[in-house]
Amino acid sequence: MVRQETHTSLIALFLSQAARFKEKPFLWSKRDGVYRPWSWASVHDQAVALANALIDLGLKPGDRVVLASENRPDWTVADLAILAAGGIPTPAYATNTEADHLHVINNVEAAMAIVSTPALARRFLPAAARARQRPVVIVMDPLEDVPVPDGLQVLSWNALMAQGEGRDVPAPAHRAKADDLAVIIHTSGTGGAPKGVMLSHRAILHNCMGAHDLLATIGLSHEIFLSFLPLSHSYEHTTGLFFPICLGAEVYFAEGVETLSTNLQEVRPTIMTAVPRLYEMMRARLLRTVEKEDGLKAKLFKHAVDLGTRRQMDPDSLSLGDRLADRALDVLVRRKVAERFGGRLKAMVSGGGPLNPEVGLFFRALHVPVLQGYGLTEAAPVVSCNLPQRVKIHTVGPALKGVEVRLGLDGELQVRGPLVMDGYWNDPEATAAALDAEGWLHTGDVGELDEDGYIHITDRKKDIIVNSGGDNISPQRVEGILALEPEIGQVVVFGDRMPHLVALIVPDREFLMRWAREHGRSEDLAALANDPALRHAVSRAIDRANLRLSPIERVRRFALLGEPPSIDNAQMTPTMKARRHIIRDTYGDLIDSLYGGSVAA
């Protein structure tokens, strides 16, 4: 592990590690069905070649370069090359629409852009052509039949690599300082237009150092990461790229959510970061697998979860017989569960949103080492995380070393330290609202601090529902409990200034397929949204969830959606969080109709 104090910039850190590890594997990606390595030396040489070519093209220190690509080794090469050339990487999600790309290009006044595939270029090139300042665009893969707009300069990645090959590390790489801007990462846009968050080298290095100190007790040595979240998100950018660089670790790129189970067993990672939605999906998948097992296996699994939960929550309640049974279940059940995750996991960190405590408890009861943390893009992004040796399941752990936290008068969590952003790019008004004169970052999250400094996040300040009776309701808590029911795949609740909550629900896909077969119905969600029998099945699931909610939290009416909220329809962020304002705008009439007529008991 390289200490933060050793290097003043991310590019200096990488150059040092590349010199240290040379031909050892660094990045792994699948080609022709097989994972193949990229060595530290190979990534170094390609990044240096591209950096020199960018400078030849006219890139000046401080110029912004948009990086629009899916996760792949070339993403890392491009990011490091931009830094080495003195530019400021500005990642953009591969799932962005043309309008999204135009917003990012215009917001940062990009001088250049790097794009990966022809499919992505079809959305990106028209945006670049419409930009106020047209960037020079570099495309990693051959463009094939993608039309290039008139007047837009588009260059080949391979040609630039050849142009810069064999040259020395450019001078800007050696001049980068800790307080220089290292990246502009745009927020996910859950509450409006994405803002460009300015993060310094110091902020990201401090975050990496904090992550190391946090995980030191698990015995960090030769670590294997499985990268799943988009590298354009601050969570993966720091914890899935630069933290592994700090450790000298290997990073495997997952193929996608559909193949994640396979990739876990192929890669056998030791550390992985993911968002709550992924843990919910993995829990549901495990439970469905258990349902198909014979009676004894299902009974043993349930017993392992029950005893493991008691061990986590109230260890003194376990009798000697319970403890012996619990140890036996390590072999009979938990070891097999661990094998589904590759068998080597030391830590599986959840961030990017609140993890339902029951989901975290479920995995920890099965010895899957889930650690819930908390962060936001504006803090580079990790603020806190549970300690491996002392997990408090309903919290997001204590703040990282060197980070101050406090609560405002309204309960809002405020953060100060080297990890805090410099501000929002070209948005002094939003910066002033988020950063006060004393350097405190106002997170917009409401929370509590316990006697050990562990943070409990109750909700997003802007998401809290205040009903017509003046009661404050956490939508994330309600949605989390509803989502535990096997019939429910996605749920978003509403009820601001109204007498009760209503919900928009998408049935779980596997439940829906099974239900449709059993009832002789089509599996088409749109055709089933108003089916009375399906509504009755979902209503029973809501009734079960309502028993675990207080009267003001209970969902009284609901509608089934014919189309799931997704990244493609802009109703979900790339990290699978609901864009409430877009869903509310899209289904406003439907939501309003749920408040007409009689209210369900």
Per residue in 118-177, pLDDT (tens digit) is: 999 999 999 999 999 999 999 999 998 999 999 999 999 999 999 999 999 999 999 999
User: Could you identify the residue written with the tokens 């449709």?
Assistant: 516
Alpha helix (H) residue ranges in 137-222: 157-164, 171-175, 201-215
Q: What is the average per-residue pLDDT within 406-422?
A: 97
Which pLDDT belongs to residue 293? Answer: 83
Q: Who's near 593: CB < 8 A, 6+ residues apart?
A: 559
Angle among Cα 434, 435, 437 to the nearest 5 degrees reads: 145
Which pLDDT belongs to residue 189? Answer: 66
Q: Supply the DSSP string of 214-267, one letter for each residue.
A: HHGGG--SS-EEEE-S-TTSHHHHIIIIIHHHHHT-EEEEP--GGGHHHHHHHH
Report whether pLDDT(363) > 50. Answer: yes
Per residue in 276-316, pLDDT (tens digit) is: 989 998 999 999 899 888 789 999 999 999 999 999 999 99
C-beta of residue 131 within 8 angstroms of C-beta of residue 108:
no
User: Could you identify the residue written with the tokens 């501000």?
Assistant: 423
Which pLDDT belongs to residue 597? Answer: 45
Share of the chain above pLDDT 70, in %: 98
Cα 476 to Cα 457: distance, rounded to the nearest angstrom: 11
> pLDDT confidence of 470, banded at 50, 70, 90?
confident
Residue 519 is encoded by which pair of tokens?
């009832």
> pLDDT confidence of 257, banded at 50, 70, 90?
confident
Residue 539, H or E segment = helix 532-546
Domain layout of the chain by residue ranges? 4-263, 275-460, 465-593
Per residue in 507-553, pLDDT (tens digit) is: 999 999 999 999 999 999 999 999 999 999 999 999 999 999 999 99
C-beta of residue 420 within 8 angstroms of C-beta of residue 439:
yes
pTM score, whole prediction: 0.90
> pLDDT confidence of 2, banded at 50, 70, 90?
low
> pLDDT confidence of 600, banded at 50, 70, 90?
very low
Domains 4-263 and 275-460 share a fold: yes
CATH architecture for segment(s) 4-263:
3-Layer(aba) Sandwich (3.40)
Whose CA is closest to 117, among 96, 142, 137, 93? 142
Q: What is the mean pLDDT of the chain?
A: 94
Per residue in 431-440, pLDDT (tens digit) is: 999 999 999 9
Which pLDDT belongs to residue 5? Answer: 58
Q: Who's near 218: CB < 8 A, 6+ residues apart?
A: 346, 347, 369, 388
Tell me the backbone φ, ψ of residue 16, rounded to 5 degrees.
Answer: -65, -45
Cα 83 to Cα 66: distance, rounded to the nearest angstrom: 12
- 469 DSSP 8-state letter: T
Helices vs strands, H then E, count in the chain: 23, 25
> Helix (H, G, I), strand (E, B), or coil: what is residue 423?
strand
Which pLDDT belongs to residue 191? Answer: 58
Report whether pLDDT(352) > 70. Answer: yes
Q: Which fold has domain 465-593?
A: GMP Synthetase; Chain A, domain 3 (3.30.300)
Higher pLDDT among residues 191 and 66, named by residue = 66
- 552 DSSP 8-state letter: G
CATH architecture for segment(s) 275-460:
3-Layer(aba) Sandwich (3.40)
C-beta of residue 474 within 8 angstroms of C-beta of residue 459:
yes
Beta strand 455-460 pairing with 472-473 = unpaired
Which pLDDT belongs to residue 440? Answer: 98
Could you count the other beta carbons within 10 Å of the beta carbon of residue 135? 24
